[in-house]
Chain A
Amino acid sequence: MNWLLDLTPDEWNAVRLSIKVATVAMLFSLPPGIAIALLLARGKFWGKTLLNGVVHLPLILPPVVTGYLLLLTFGRRGPAGAFLAEHFGIVFSFRWTGAALACGIMGFPLMVRAIRLSIEAVDRKMEAAAGTLGANPLFVFATITLPLILPGLIAGSILSFAKAMGEFGATITFVSNIPNETQTLPSAIYTFTQVPGGDDGALRLTLISVVISMAALVASEVLARRVGRRMDIE
């Protein structure tokens, strides 16, 4: 059994990197995810269908295509990439930040979907009641809407995290497969399968993948149940 737990430093790095990338992707997706979900759930504006389509694109496009589009726009010579590098010093190409961006984008439609559904389930009469008690719209959102959609936020975040842990195609296309920088768990497993004698390493990382994903799932279940018990449906 020893070979199972005895990870090489490179393998550990891949595990740590994956968790870092997935966490950053999830946290940075959350604010725009809530904003877009709100727009889609409640907004009435021209181009709503288009926005919905764009948000869902990563779900239906081949991941390689998404990765290539990211390379074109956020690469060193891409318009957004050049702008961000020049003015803010943020570089995505061939960095772990690029992996986080790719993972965030790929998980975004899943997150938006979960949050949007929970926003649509919110009883708007509750918000009206809060308004008659003197709360301004921003305060109503913070004290009524957000707590009521908490289960959706948790579900969306976990989906985004899980998607990021498993993302391969877009990441490898956009930021390649550089050990210690952009080599996430799936990339590392892929690398192991390409070299002779890599079976042990591939299996070790596969098991670790399973454990992390299961842990995330269980954590979300526990959280969602605690939230649910706290507010029971009336």
Chain B
Amino acid sequence: MSVLVDISHRLGEFAIDARFESAGRLTALFGPSGSGKTTLINMIAGLIRPGEGRIAVDGRVLVDTDAGIFVPKHKRRIGMVFQDARLFPHMSVAGNLRYGRWFTPPAERYANMDAVVELLGIGPLLDRRPAKLSGGEKQRVAIGRALLASPKLLLMDEPLASLDDARKAEILPYIERLRDETKLPIVYVSHSVAEVARLASDVVVMAQGKVAASGPTGAIMQRLDLLPVEERGEGGAVLDTIVLRHDEAFGMSVLRSAAGEIRVPRLAISVGAPVRIRIRARDVMIATEQPTGLSALNILPGIIVAVSPGEGPTVEVGIDCNGATVLARITEQSRHALNLRLGSKVFAVVKTVSFDRANTGAGLPAEADG
């Protein structure tokens, strides 16, 4: 499964000139607002006709301006979840969910109503009208509606951007389930480091209408210079871990990662489950010797493999901890005082309390487990 986009397009003063190809499970189109990512996703959906270029999904050419090909949106079999849900107000939730089924040839229908309703936890909503739903519920129904059209690719355009943190936390686990339990590839537009780090397998970074970088999530998240200024504090290492055990006495979970054991506040998921965590660079301290008499619980030994100047008085230090790179942001003064250089043996120190809902996969909310 792959998505190929290679287009150039002018919108008045704004020019988009982008090329990327991704075969990821969930590809994030990431960048600040106005970077052209929503325009790109609308082109993949067929809502905007690019001035020039090619778009192909899984080898099927949807747009090729040279060859005069433009497949209209209703023939693309590409589902889309919009930021504003766009549920049909004159139909019930069930009516909305069923809408796309009519247009899918029976042989190509793989989505099953009961399974989708169960996956998204929207069973109790079926008879309601969209106007009576909360923002989070609307978004879940919108995802279900797109799924039930049995698309070959799912596009999500900032599906969480208009929701508050509690609603975001409510929906994120469902998107994770979608990513892990279905074979449907997803292209996900977002400007949030937290969402991208948690959800994406691959990232395409957009800036001013161009692709600034693309690659696996772990590698991209290390490049703090690629992140939008207001999100730079959120950047850092992304580690895939497994829940090793829960420490009920102290309300913590212990995760196993390549870098070593990491203690985080108790997660609502079972032992053995995979969790992706993000260690913000600003949350990491560096010690030159094994610290003692320190409250921080996570002390990861490693070797400095990268030092690059950051914003203002800071430097960004990459520490290779047994194969996993942890990023630390410290002041130039500290780097100088500790004489940190490439190859220095150090300890990366991370407080357990620096992990929160936003940078740990918090697992499904309890009420949706059954």
Residues of A that sit less than 8 Å from B by CB:
123, 125-126, 128-137, 139-140, 143-144, 147-148, 230-234
B74/A126 in contact, CB under 8 A: no
Determine if A132 and B130 form an interchain contact, defined as CB atoms under 8 angstroms apart. no
Write the nearest CB–CB distance from A12 to chain B, whole angstroms. 41
Determine whether the beta carbon of B90 is less than 8 Å from that of A231: yes
Contacts of B78 in A (CB 8 A): 132
Known: A132-B46, A133-B74. 6 other contacts (CB 8 A): A128-B86, A134-B149, A144-B88, A230-B90, A232-B89, A232-B129
Q: Does B14 sit within 8 A of A, measured CB to CB?
A: no
Interface centre among B72, B86, B102 (most CB of A within 10 A): B86
> Are B47 and A130 in contact (CB-based, < 8 A)?
no
Residue in B77, B82, B103 whose CB lies within 8 Å of A129: B82
Minimal beta-carbon separation of A141 from chain B (angstroms): 12
Q: Are B74 and A134 in contact (CB under 8 A)?
A: yes
- By a beta-carbon cutoff of 8 Å, the part of chain B in contact with chain A is 45-47, 72-80, 82, 84, 86-90, 99-100, 102-104, 129-132, 145-146, 149
Closest A residue by C-beta to B105: A134
Nearest opposing residue in chain B for A137, CB measure = B74
Residues of the B chain whose Cβ atoms lie less than 8 Å from the Cβ of A233: 89, 131
State whether B88 touches A132 (Cβ < 8 A): no
Is the Cβ of A125 less than 8 Å from the Cβ of B84? yes
Q: List 16 A-B contacts (CB under 8 A).
A: A125-B82, A125-B84, A126-B88, A128-B73, A132-B47, A132-B73, A132-B79, A132-B146, A134-B103, A135-B99, A135-B102, A136-B72, A136-B103, A139-B103, A231-B89, A232-B89
Contacts between the two chains (Cβ within 8 Å), count? 78
Which residue of the partner chain B has the closest CB to A148?
B90
- Closest CB in chain B relative to A132 CB, distance in Å: 4
Min CB gap B112→A, angstroms: 17
Q: How far is the CB of A38 from chain B (nearest CB, A)?
A: 19
Question: Is the pair B86, A125 in contact by a Cβ cutoff of 8 Å?
Answer: yes
- In the complex, chain A residues whose CB is within 8 Å of the CB of B72: 131, 136
Assembled-state Cα–Cα distance A232/B130 (Å)? 9
The docked-state distance in angstroms from the alpha carbon of A128 to that of B82 is: 10
In chain B, what residue has the closest Cβ to A123?
B86
Contact of B82 with A133 in the complex, beta carbons under 8 Å: no
Which residues of B sit under 8 angstroms from A129, Cβ to Cβ?
Answer: 80, 82, 86, 88
Chain A min CB distance to B264 (Å): 38
Identify B145's interface contact among A125, A133, A147, CB under 8 A: A133
Q: How distant is the Cα of A132 from the Cα of B47 in the complex, in angstroms?
A: 8
Closest to A147 in B: B90
Which A residues lie within 8 Å of B79 (CB)? 132-133
A174 CB, min distance to chain B CBs, angstroms? 40
In the complex the two chains form, what is the Cα distance from A131 to B78 in whole Å? 10
Inter-chain contacts of A137 with B (CB < 8 A): 74
Inter-subunit contact A128/B145 (CB<8 Å)? no
A139 to B102, CA, bound (A): 11
Say yes or no: B131 contacts A231, CB within 8 Å: yes
A193 to B88: give the CA distance in the assembly, Å. Answer: 54
Q: Distance in Å from the Cβ of A55 to the closest Cβ of chain B?
A: 28
Are B131 and A132 within 8 A (Cβ)?
no
| List of A residues within 8 angstroms of B75 by Cβ | 134
Give the 3 A-B CB pairs with smallest separation, nearest first: A134-B103, A133-B100, A232-B131
Whether the pair B130, A234 counts as a contact (CB closer than 8 A) is yes
Question: Shortest beta-carbon distance, B73 to chain A, in Å?
Answer: 4
- Beta-carbon contact of B99 and A130 below 8 Å: yes
Residues of A within 8 A of B89 (CB): 126, 148, 231-234
Is the CB–CB distance between B100 and A231 below 8 Å?
no
Q: Cβ of A234 and Cβ of B131 under 8 Å apart?
A: yes
Q: Which residues of B contact A148 (CB under 8 A)?
A: 89-90
Report whether A135 and B80 are in contact in the complex, using a CB–CB cutoff of 8 Å.
no
Count chain B CB atoms within 10 A of each CB in A126, A128, A136, A147 and give the residue with the most.
Answer: A128
Evaluate contact between A135 and B130: CB separation under 8 angstroms: no
What is the minimal beta-carbon distance from A234 to any residue of chain B, in angstroms? Answer: 5
A129 to B88, CA, bound (A): 9
A6–B24 alpha-carbon span in the complex (Å): 83
What B residues does A123 contact at CB under 8 A?
86
The CA-CA distance from A137 to B99 in the complex, in Å, is: 14
Residues of chain B with a CB closer than 8 A to A133's CB? 74, 79, 99-100, 103, 145-146, 149
Name the CB-closest residue of B to A144: B88
- Whether B99 contacts A128 by the Cβ 8 Å rule is no
Contact A134 B84 (CB under 8 A): no
CB-CB under 8 A from A144, the residues of chain B are 88
Which residue of chain A has the shortest Cβ distance to B89 in the bound complex?
Answer: A231
Chain B residues with Cβ under 8 A from A126's Cβ? 86, 88-89
A135 CB contacts on chain B under 8 angstroms: 74, 99, 102-103
Q: Please, which residues of chain B bring their CB within 8 A of the CB of A136?
A: 72, 74, 103
